[in-house]
Amino acid sequence: MKEYEASEGLSTSRLVYGVLGIIGGIWLVVAPFALGYSNLKVLNPATKKQVPADLSAVTVSDIILGLIILALTGFALATASNPATAKLRQYANIAVIAAGLYLLAAPYLFDIFKAAEYLAVDKPNTNDQLMGLLTIIIAGFAYQKEFGRKEEEIVEVYQPAPRV
């Protein structure tokens, strides 16, 4: 059964992981508008009044990362049946995992570099961290499914040597 799955190209699990990646990428592009990043307000410590949060850097970051995830996932799906591009698919999968790590770290990076009042605003902070976590999990499962060791290889490695 494993041999058939490996030779069939676009298996059901690859398709599911790919579709989830595409949905995640589309959500990252749409989220700044759907969640209203431009309408969010934060408390100004000096004046003690609500002021509009400058989340333009966060908006650009989410849109660019969404497009990157869309492109990498689309590439992996489009080349699933081509064994010659397996190494490139592996790099694309690692890049998607790195994008997920960036999404997890983005609120802290933007806060450290004072690029946006990010940690004080729940919607973009929660959205990026949740999407980062989901991206890492889904891309990790996809990586393990496609590039992890096969059950037959594991059995061969852990079989005890015959006694003489």
Report, as ranges of residue numbers, the positions in the chain whose pLDDT lies below 50: 1-7, 154
Residues 6+ apart with CB under 8 A from 90: 143, 146, 147
pTM score of the predicted model: 0.79
Count of alpha carbons within 13 Å of 14, Cβ hemisphere only?
A: 21
CB 108 within 8 A of CB 116: no
Q: Which residues pair with 98 in a beta bridge?
A: none
Residue 122's pLDDT is what? 79
Residue 118's pLDDT is what? 64
